[in-house]
Each structure stands twice: as structure tokens, then as C-alpha cells.
């Protein structure tokens, strides 16, 4: 965080709808618990240009489709966004088990997973964003702009929440997301389309004994 830890606010017992402002481009909103909370937020390291998160769009009166609510209790900030029934959820980085995260609780605090199994929820990369695929096929994204340990929409200190969409398709959401994020410094820009022959099932040699290797 470059030594800038921001200011600490006493939000204990507060709850309600989060305030919002349009940022970046059409369909993208920043949400905070209050104006004071917005001013005291930690600097962003998620965006390629950190200042864009703190710069509202001028002359934009767009209203978000989904407005999160928050509750601060026992030093924890809980953010809730209600989606329609049969919404599917993806994202959060590398964890074990199925790609779809619906019904799961994911801790975004990765660890060295030298002997992971079905009960190991945190592997080598933690990305605090969620892709929601709505029943009508639209895509909606949520980013918790924090480096702190959190569990889905749960974190120990206040942080901004940024939403994307809804878009007409998954492609629209991914184009919007990749155009403004640098994924915490791991990469910049977009990924090229791989050749068809490289797509398909892949097998990892982890846990195989030397006697079973086939060259």
C-alpha cells in the first residue's frame, strides 16, 4: 500500500443502502457506506490508473440496477447485493472444486497449497471479484477493491465496491473489466485468443509418483 494506510472510521452499528457515483464508463458504479467512508478509503491497486476510481463521471445521472446494502458489526463490514433466483456465480481466483461458486463461501486469502484437497478453499491467487450470470443471460460484475482478507462480500475494514453492468452478454462484462484493471500487477491489457488445439482438458502431474510418469 506504499505506506498509505488511510484513515480509520468508527462505523460500528451503522447500516443501510450504500451511496454511489458513476465512474470509468457507462454501467460502472462505485459504492461506499458514506461520504466520509469514501474519503477515508485505502488507495486502489486494482485499477491500471488508480485515480479513475476516485474520479466521478461529470454530468452523468445514471442509476444502478442493483444498489448494495451494508452493515458494520463487530469490526466487520458486510455488503449484500440481492440478485434474482437462479443467478449463477463465478470468479474469486483459484480455489478447489467446481468452477461455479454458487452456494459456496470463498475466502480471498491465498496460501501455499502444496497438499490441497476438496476442503482447501484458498490456493495461489485471490481475486476479490465475482461474475454473476443472471437468469436472462445478462452478466454483472462485483469487485471488492481491497487487499484485505475477505469472504465473498465480507471484510474487516471498509472498502469501496465497484459494479459492472448488467451487460447483454459475458463478453460485454469481460471487455469492460479487462479494459480498466491490471489484475493486481499480474498482467496488463487483454489476453490473445489461444489456438483451437490448445483448448480442452489438461492434466496436472502433481501427486503422481515417478513410476507412473509416461514420457
**Mean pLDDT score across all residues of the chain:** 77
pTM of the model: 0.65
End-to-end CA distance of the chain: 46
The per-residue pLDDT for range 46-74, each reduced to its tens digit, is: 888 889 899 999 888 899 999 999 988 87
pLDDT at 5: 37
Collapsing DSSP to helix, strand or coil, 67 comes out as coil
Place 203 in a pLDDT band, splitting at 50, 70 and 90. Answer: low
* Structural domain spans, the chain: 15-88+131-212
The per-residue pLDDT for range 81-128, each reduced to its tens digit, is: 988 888 888 988 877 777 888 878 888 887 776 777 776 767 777 888
Q: Beta 19-22 vs 126-133: how paired, if at all? A: unpaired
Return d(Cα 173, Cα 119) in angstroms, integer: 30
pLDDT at 30: 94
Place 202 in a pLDDT band, splitting at 50, 70 and 90. Answer: low
Separation in Å, CA 101 to CA 88, 105, 106, 145, 200? 8, 8, 8, 20, 21
Amino acid at each position: 500500500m506504499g505506506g498509505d494506510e488511510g484513515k480509520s472510521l468508527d462505523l460500528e452499528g451503522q447500516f443501510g443502502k450504500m451511496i454511489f457515483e458513476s465512474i470509468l464508463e457507462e454501467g460502472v458504479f462505485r459504492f461506499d457506506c458514506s461520504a466520509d467512508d469514501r474519503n477515508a478509503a485505502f488507495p486502489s491497486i486494482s485499477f491500471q490508473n488508480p485515480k479513475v476510481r476516485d474520479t466521478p463521471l461529470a454530468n452523468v445521472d445514471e442509476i444502478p440496477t442493483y444498489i448494495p446494502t451494508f452493515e458494520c458489526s463487530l469490526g466487520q463490514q458486510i455488503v449484500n447485493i440481492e440478485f434474482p433466483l437462479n443467478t449463477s456465480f463465478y470468479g474469486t481466483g483459484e480455489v478447489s472444486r467446481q468452477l461455479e461458486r454458487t452456494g459456496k463461501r470463498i475466502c480471498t486469502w491465498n496460501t501455499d497449497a502444496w497438499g490441497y484437497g476438496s476442503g482447501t478453499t484458498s490456493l495461489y491467487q485471490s481475486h476479490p471479484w465475482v461474475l454473476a450470470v443472471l437468469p436472462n443471460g445478462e452478466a454483472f460484475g462485483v469487485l471488492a477493491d481491497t487487499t484485505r482478507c475477505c469472504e465473498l462480500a465480507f471484510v474487516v475494514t471498509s472498502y469501496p465496491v465497484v459494479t459492472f453492468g448488467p451487460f447483454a452478454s459475458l463478453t460485454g462484462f469481460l471487455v469492460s473489466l479487462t479494459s480498466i484493471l491490471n489484475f493486481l500487477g499480474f498482467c496488463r491489457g487483454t489476453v490473445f485468443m489461444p489456438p483451437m488445439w490448445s483448448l480442452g482438458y489438461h492434466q496436472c502431474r502433481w501427486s503422481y509418483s515417478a513410476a507412473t510418469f509416461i514420457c
